[in-house]
């Protein structure tokens, strides 16, 4: 439950209608603990008040029960929360609608879905704004859909789990960094008032391979009550207590620089593992900061690794003292970062946001929208290698508490909606902090399900393969076709590419509740495809589907779309092949490998077009293709808005700004690009080395940029399409700043010109 400490931002309670004039001394004492967010102490005090004071005012009893239920809710004691909310609903008919929501959630977290369904129905009747009442009422009519793929998964508890909370793992250099509240060494033990547990720090285990083997499931001892009137809190046996004193398997403090006396984590890393962004309580110069309402909000901090040490710790620019930001997750290409916040303008308690990240500079955060965010809480995002988004939510329909969900993103949009990851990844308890590989074949997540050692624990999972054999045959002879490409497609978009073996077979592991299309491609044969669905389950351990290819005189057109800025495959690009004779078109959307394939009839001219939002449309035209041409291969390069290109060989002599002969050739390349894309607008960016004063260097670089602009204008480019800007020595690329001895060649590397794309069409 400790991860909710990281969401102090949702501590804004809908209890404003309750009186605060309690005259009873015990109730006053309980309310004081409640107002201080000391929920363990508040529970004891409210239980004592309800048990000891026989002559209580009805309003006092109602207030105590309402706040007691909320305290149990915050402590994730779902059994006692259910007990208290049940008593409230039985005694009072004019309760706030939130009481029915909290009761429904507690029932679901205890596996009582039918009873929960009734409470969700009542919640929906009492208010019309929050759609959770209606959604969950329908969802809990049949929960079998959450178990469709459950037999494919195997879960294992990890040896790094401690008696305190361990959660939110993140991949790092072959291991995982995770968050833990395990007891600190030393005489002084710091505890957090919320639940009397130690503060959170980041820990590291260096080898995930050691964690992928089955771990032992520690058994719990007899049930004992910790606080209050319930008997469902779990104790531990003496044997387990002895085990707890044993050293944990290779878990170590991640960084004594980043870990402080306050909460740290969760975290995320850039692809090169040299930059971390992590969550921490609001602090300034070692002191805790608070918002105007007296709550310590969460902030995100970044740090870079230099020489094996984390240095340059600084806040991200979109932090605030008045709301929280946390739970960061970089996209696989580091172009953006997802995070959680309760900033104004959201849809629920906490929402998911995305912010662009370019060369260490942050953009403006954008809410991911109502397709992702709900009236509840969305948190703990993670982007896999394909850029698909995983997160946890208690607002989308699930098995109870936080469930893990995923969304396939196309241009930042969850175009297929949000999917529940299903059991056993999800349970009736809280499941979150999910990380995995691109195929979701293995990974890690956190949960407070009953089999955990105590509180939140980290689990590993493996997904067994539901194998599908894709068999490709010659339609005339019936013989298997070797080395045929098998393109896996979903919703008209290319996904993975497999190649058939000598038996004409390609194998994949299929997912439940998914519709596939498989397209077979082979030189000398016409393309053919077949559809396959797992919406219905099959008991067979291995499935198969066949594709028959007809021989043809058509030409195979194939290639890869790449981004010009880094020559990496471009996903989500709409590629269209148009027959200019009969005006027919074939279209496909590229997948992670950027590949496309088409059949082209001979004897007609064709146009190949590649389109993607915020990229310049690329067109390639083919004249009539002769019958003997079997394959046409053409890779396409895309120029995107915001891309910055360093022009090769555009260097300047010291203190000069005229265009050298070697620079003219490179500018001719830019000229050709601008003529090919007549709507493109660019910024010419010139830089100097660090020698000479700053003001001089800025003026010199401006002159150099202007010289490049004039060169292009003189050759027919409209001036309104060009911007010239000098950056002086503000963006040195090789460390040759003031005071550093560098060679002439090293200084010349900084005397460079770049162009940045400002607009395309």
Yes or no: say if 30 and 42 are a contact pair by the CB < 8 Å rule: yes
Q: Strands 681-686 and 722-726, how do they pair?
A: parallel
Q: What's the number of CA atoms in the CB half-sphere (13 Å) around residue 318?
A: 23
Residues of the chain with pLDDT under 70: 1-23, 53, 183-197, 212-250, 282-295, 451-454, 537, 539, 625-629, 648-663
Q: 66 is written with which tokens?
A: 């309402």
Q: How far is CA 629 from the centre of its chain?
A: 45
212: tokens are 């992928």
Q: What is the pLDDT of residue 435?
A: 98
Considering the four listed CATH numbers 2.40.50.180, 1.10.3720.10, 3.50.50.60, 2.60.40.1120, the one that applies to the domain covering 553-639 is 2.60.40.1120
Nearest Cα residue to 341 out of 304, 379, 375, 374: 379
Q: What fold, for 152-463? A: Neuraminidase (2.120.10)
Furthest CA-CA distance within the chain: 99
The CATH number of 2-142 is 1.25.40.10
List the structure tokens of 99. 């009481």
pTM to 2 decimals?
Answer: 0.69
Q: CB under 8 Å to 681, separation ≥6 — which residues?
A: 720, 721, 722, 723, 757, 758, 759, 760
The domain limits of the chain are 2-142, 152-463, 465-551, 553-639, 644-759
In 197-306 the beta strands, taken as DSSP E runs, fall at 197-198, 201-205, 252-253, 264-269, 275-281, 283-284, 287-288, 298-306
| Average pLDDT along the chain | 84
Q: Is 592 in contact with 618 (CB distance < 8 Å)?
A: no
* pLDDT at position 185: 54
**Is the Cβ–Cβ distance between 253 and 203 less than 8 Å?**
yes
The pairing of strands 595-600 and 555-563 is antiparallel
Residues 6 or more apart in contact with residue 246 via CB below 8 angstroms: none
Looking at 1.10.3660.10, 2.60.40.1120, 1.10.3720.10, 1.10.10.10, the CATH number of the domain 465-551 comes to 2.60.40.1120
- The pLDDT score that the predictor gives to residue 477 is 96
CB burial class (10 A; 0-12, 13-18, 19+) of residue 2?
buried
Q: For 236-283, write each residue's pLDDT tens digit.
A: 332 233 333 344 456 788 998 898 887 898 999 999 999 999 999 866
Listed in order, strand segments (DSSP E) in 574-643 are 574-579, 585-589, 595-600, 606-611, 618-622, 631-633, 636-638
Task: Give the CATH superfamily of 644-759.
Answer: OmpA-like domain (3.30.1330.60)
Structure confidence at residue 219 (pLDDT): 38
Residue closest to 47 by CA, chosen among 75, 9, 20, 19: 75
Answer whether 465-551 and 553-639 agree in fold: yes
**pLDDT, tens only, 618-651:** 999 988 766 665 788 888 999 999 999 887 655 5
pLDDT at 213: 52
Query: Hey, what are 339's tokens?
Result: 């995070």
Which residues lie below 8 Å from residue 348, measured CB to CB, with a gap of 6+? 373, 374, 375, 376, 377, 378, 395
Predicted pLDDT at 726: 92
d(CA 620, CA 627) in angstroms, rounded, equals: 20
Distance from C-alpha of 456 to C-alpha of 266, rounded to nearest angstrom: 14
Residue 612 near residue 539, CB atoms below 8 Å: no
């Amino acid at each position: 439950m400790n991860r909710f400490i990281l969401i102090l931002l949702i501590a804004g309670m809908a209890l404003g209608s309750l009186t605060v004039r309690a005259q009873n001394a015990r109730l006053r004492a309980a309310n004081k603990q409640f107002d201080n967010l000391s929920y363990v102490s508040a529970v004891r005090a409210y239980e004592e008040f309800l048990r000891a004071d026989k002559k209580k005012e009805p309003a006092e009893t109602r207030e105590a029960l309402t706040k007691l239920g909320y305290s149990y809710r915050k402590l994730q004691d779902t059994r006692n929360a259910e007990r208290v909310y049940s008593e409230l609903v039985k005694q009072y008919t004019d309760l706030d609608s939130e009481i029915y929501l909290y009761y429904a959630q507690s029932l679901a977290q205890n596996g009582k879905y039918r009873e929960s369904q009734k409470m969700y129905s009542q919640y929906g009747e009492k208010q019309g704004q929050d759609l959770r009442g209606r959604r969950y009422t329908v969802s809990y009519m049949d929960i079998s859909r959450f178990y469709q793929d459950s037999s494919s998964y195997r879960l294992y508890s990890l040896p790094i789990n401690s008696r305190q909370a361990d959660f939110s793992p993140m991949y790092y250099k072959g291991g995982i960094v995770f968050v833990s509240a395990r007891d600190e060494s030393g005489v002084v033990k710091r505890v957090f008032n919320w639940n009397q547990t130690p503060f959170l720090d980041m820990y590291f285990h260096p080898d995930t391979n050691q964690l992928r083997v089955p771990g032992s499931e520690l058994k719990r001892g007899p049930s004992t009550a910790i606080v209050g009137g319930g008997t469902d809190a779990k104790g531990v046996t003496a044997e387990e207590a002895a085990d707890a004193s044993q050293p944990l398997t290779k878990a170590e403090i991640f960084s004594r620089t980043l870990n402080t006396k306050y909460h740290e984590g969760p975290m995320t890393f850039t692809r090169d593992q040299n930059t971390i962004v992590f969550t921490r309580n609001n602090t300034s110069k070692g002191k805790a900061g608070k918002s105007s309402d007296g709550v310590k909000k969460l902030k995100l901090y970044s740090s870079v690794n230099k020489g094996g040490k984390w240095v340059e710790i600084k806040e991200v620019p979109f932090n605030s003292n008045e709301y929280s930001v946390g739970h960061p997750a970089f996209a696989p290409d580091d172009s953006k970062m997802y995070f959680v916040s309760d900033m104004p303008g959201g849809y629920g308690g906490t929402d998911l946001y995305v912010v662009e990240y370019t060369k260490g500079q942050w953009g403006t955060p954008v809410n991911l929208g109502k397709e992702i965010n709900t009236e509840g809480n969305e948190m703990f995002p993670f982007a896999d290698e394909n850029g698909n988004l995983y997160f946890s939510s208690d607002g989308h329909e699930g098995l109870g508490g936080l469930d893990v969900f995923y969304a396939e993103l196309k241009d930042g949009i969850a175009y297929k909606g949000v999917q529940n990851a299903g059991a056993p990844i999800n349970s009736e308890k809280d499941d979150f902090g999910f990380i995995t590989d691109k195929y979701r074949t293995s990974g890690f997540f956190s949960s407070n399900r009953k089999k955990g050692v105590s509180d939140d624990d980290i689990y590993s999972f493996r997904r067994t393969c539901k194998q599908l054999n894709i068999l490709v045959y010659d339609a005339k002879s019936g013989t298997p076709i070797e080395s045929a490409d098998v393109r896996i497609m979903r919703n008209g978009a290319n996904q993975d590419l497999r190649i058939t073996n000598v038996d004409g077979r390609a194998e994949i592991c299929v997912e439940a509740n998914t519709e596939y299309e498989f397209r077979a491609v082979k030189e000398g044969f016409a393309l053919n495809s077949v559809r396959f669905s797992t919406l219905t389950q099959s008991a067979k351990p291995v499935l198969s589907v066949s594709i028959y290819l007809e021989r043809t005189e058509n030409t195979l057109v194939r290639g890869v779309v790449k981004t010009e800025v880094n020559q990496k495959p471009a996903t989500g690009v709409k590629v269209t092949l148009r027959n200019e004779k009969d005006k027919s078109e074939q279209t496909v959307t590229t997948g992670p490998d950027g590949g496309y394939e088409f059949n082209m009839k001979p004897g007609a001219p064709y146009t190949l077009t590649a389109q993607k939002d915020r990229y310049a449309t690329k067109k390639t035209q083919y004249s009539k293709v002769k019958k003997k041409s079997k394959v046409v291969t053409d890779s396409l390069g895309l120029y995107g808005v915001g891309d910055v290109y360093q022009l090769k060989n555009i260097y300047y002599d010291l203190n000069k700004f005229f265009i050298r002969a070697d620079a003219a050739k490179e500018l001719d390349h830019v000229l050709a690009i601008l003529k090919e894309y007549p709507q493109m607008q660019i910024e010419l960016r010139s830089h100097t080395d660090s020698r000479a004063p700053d003001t001089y260097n800025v003026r010199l670089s401006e002159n150099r940029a202007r010289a490049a602009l004039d060169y292009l204008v003189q050759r027919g480019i409209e001036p309104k399409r060009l911007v010239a800007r000098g950056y002086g020595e503000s963006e040195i690329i090789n460390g040759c700043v003031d005071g550093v001895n560098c060679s002439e060649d090293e200084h010349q590397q900084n005397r460079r010109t770049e162009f940045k794309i400002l607009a395309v069409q």
